[in-house]
Amino acid sequence: MITFTDRAREVVHTFLDQSNEDNMALRIGTGAGTGSPNFDLALVSQSERTEDEQELDAGGFTLLIKTSDCETLEGATVDYVERVNESGFEVRPASASSSPKDSEVTIPQGDIADRVRDVLNTQVNPAIASHGGMISLVNVEETDVYVEMSGGCQGCALSRMTLRQGVERMLREAVPELTAIHDITDHESGDNPYL
C-alpha cells in the first residue's frame, strides 16, 4: 500500500480539480536511473491504463501502478516538498530512512509566506501545470519573496514574462505589502522547457 501525506493529497486534488478532463488518474512508476529507484508521477486519463497496470483507490483519486513496480512501491510514502532548488512530489520507499536529510531547508513561515503559497497553489500552479511547470516559494525576507520555477517553466523563453506579467500581478493583488519578487531559478539547467 502507498501512503500519501495530507500535503501530497491536497496538491493532487488541486491538479485534478483544475484539469479539464474527467476520469483522470495519477500514474506512478519507477523511472530510468542507477542506484536508488527514481519515480515518475504523471496525471493521465484512466483510458490510458495499460494491461500491466493495477488500478488502486488512493483516497479520492485513482492511482495506476505497473504490476512490476508494486513490490518496490509497497509501503512507500508520497509527499509534496518545497526545498531550495527543488519542489514537487517525493516518493520515499519503505526502506528509506524516515529521518530528515541534513540538506532539507525549512519551509518559509509567517503570514506573507502563507498568503504567497496560497496564491501559488490555488491560482498559479494549476494554470501552468498544463505546461508541466510549477513555481514554488523558497524564502521570505521581510517583504521580499524568492520563488523558483521548475519543470516546463525552468529554461522556458517565456518564463520571465509569465513571472512579471502574470504571477507578480496576482501576488501583489493578494499581498499588497510585497516590495520585490525575486526569481532564483537556474534557467540554464532547464532540461524540459515547454516550447
H or E stretch covering 31: strand 24-31
What's the CA gap between 178 and 44, in Å, rounded? 37
Provide the number of structural domains found in the chain. Answer: 2
| Predicted confidence (pLDDT) per residue in 117-131, tens digit | 888 888 888 877 777
- The better pLDDT of the pair 195, 56 is held by 56
What's the CA gap between 105 and 82, in Å, rounded? 8
The CATH number that applies at residue 148 is 3.30.300.130
Q: Same domain, yes or no, for 146 and 73?
A: no
The CATH number that applies at residue 64 is 2.60.300.12
- pLDDT at position 76, please? 80
Q: Same domain, yes or no, for 77 and 18?
A: yes
- pLDDT at position 37, please? 61
Query: Does pTM top 0.85 for this prediction?
Result: no
Tell me the residue range of the domain where 44 lies.
3-92
* Cell, residue 135: 513555481
| Predicted confidence (pLDDT) per residue in 62-80, tens digit | 888 888 887 778 888 888 8
In a domain, residue 41? The reply is yes
